Amino acid sequence: MFRIEDVEHGYDDRMVLRGISVELTERRIAVIGANGSGKSTFARLLNGLLVPTRGRVLVDGLDTRSEGRAVRRKVGFVFQDPDVQIVMPTVAEDIAFGLKHRGLSKKDIAARVAEVLAEHGLASLSERPAHLLSGGEKQRLAIAAVLALEPECVVFDEPTTMLDLRNKRRTTEVIRNLAEQVVVVSHDLDLLSDFDRVLVFDEGRIVADAPPSEAVAAYLDLMAPC
Ligand SMILES: Nc1ncnc2c1ncn2[C@@H]1O[C@H](COP(=O)(O)OP(=O)(O)OP(=O)(O)O)[C@@H](O)[C@H]1O
């Protein structure tokens, strides 16, 4: 689904991704690597939140540079910090927000919101002010709001980093059960143990691209003290 061609990306002339050419077709793909190695930047390129300084990113043939809107309909993005994503006063309104922008009727929005609230264990919180939720509840809401839009692929940027063990397990299970393609940036090596493919980043390059056990071994090697 994703075709990344000769991509480089820089911020203020400082290159943080270099020489990235890769196709991502597997259903579950993880991205791991050291802090600052460019993982989040790479993730943001996948749905056009960022467009590359050089090269191009195609999603089902759509170029993120010229077709960002169509790309974002296909590819949902869950941020590490749910506060970045929650925009409406209540839980139900926040889930309805994206659906309104899709032009659904009021009746269809109400039905979809109820369905998504139930699926994600949020029904009892539907009228709660979203900003008063706990961290785990906010993360659940952020994931639910993205999935309500039925994307074909979901990119998660460190989805379990801010969670306690219970919520981490819950989120891992939600990701595991998704039928959609997922790309997950994570430092949580348990999360990706059954993934199809793992990319290891180091200093802005992909230095390993393999199934989990091999990729994790390469990552541990990289992290070993000199
Ligand atoms: N908006 C920005 N403006 C300037 N520099 C940035 C910006 N976003 C990221 N960077 C820099 O780009 C580099 C790569 O950052 P990125 O967040 O992609 O790494 P990461 O691998 O996801 O790191 P982490 O594991 O710590 O989240 C870092 O040096 C970071 O400081």
At 121 the pLDDT is 87
How confident is residue 224, by pLDDT bands cut at 50, 70 and 90?
confident
Reported as a single tens digit per residue, the pLDDT across 91-127 is 999 999 989 988 889 999 999 999 999 998 899 999 9
pTM assigned to the model: 0.94
Instruction: State the average pLDDT over residues 165-193.
Output: 93
91 with 130: CB under 8 angstroms? Answer: yes
- Rounded to the nearest angstrom, the distance between the alpha carbon of 40 and the centre of ligand 1 is 7
Starting at the earlier edge strand, list the strands of the sheet with 181-185.
Answer: 75-78, 153-157, 181-185, 28-33, 197-202, 205-210
In the chain, alpha helices (H):
39-46, 68-74, 91-101, 106-119, 135-147, 165-177, 212-223
- Assess whether the C-beta atom of 105 lies below 6 angstroms from ligand 1: no
At 209 the pLDDT is 97
* Ligand 1 atom nearest to CA at 44: 18
Instruction: State the average pLDDT over residues 40-58.
Output: 97
Pocket test for ligand 1, best of 37, 80, 202 (most atoms within 8 A of CB): 37
- Rounded to the nearest angstrom, the distance between the alpha carbon of 114 and the centre of ligand 1 is 37
- Assess whether the C-beta atom of 82 lies below 6 angstroms from ligand 1: no
At 163 the pLDDT is 87
At 22 the pLDDT is 98
Cβ neighbours, 10 Å, residue 100: 12
* Ligand 1 atom nearest to CA at 185: 22
- Rounded to the nearest angstrom, the distance between the alpha carbon of 41 and the centre of ligand 1 is 6
Is it the case that residue 169 has pLDDT exceeding 80? yes
At 215 the pLDDT is 97
- Rounded to the nearest angstrom, the distance between the alpha carbon of 91 and the centre of ligand 1 is 30
**Residue bearing the CA closest to ligand 1, atom 12:** 16
Instruction: State the average pLDDT over residues 22-48.
Output: 97
Q: Give the 3-state secondary structure percentages of the chain, helix then strand then coil, rounded to 5.
A: 40, 30, 35
How confident is residue 162, by pLDDT bands cut at 50, 70 and 90?
confident
Is it the case that residue 226 has pLDDT exceeding 80? no
ipTM above 0.95 for this complex: yes
Regarding the domain with residue range 2-223, which homologous superfamily does it belong to in the CATH classification? Answer: P-loop containing nucleotide triphosphate hydrolases (3.40.50.300)
Task: Report the DSSP pairing between strands 181-185 and 28-33.
Answer: parallel
- Cα dist. 158→67, 93, 155, 214 in Å? 26, 25, 10, 21
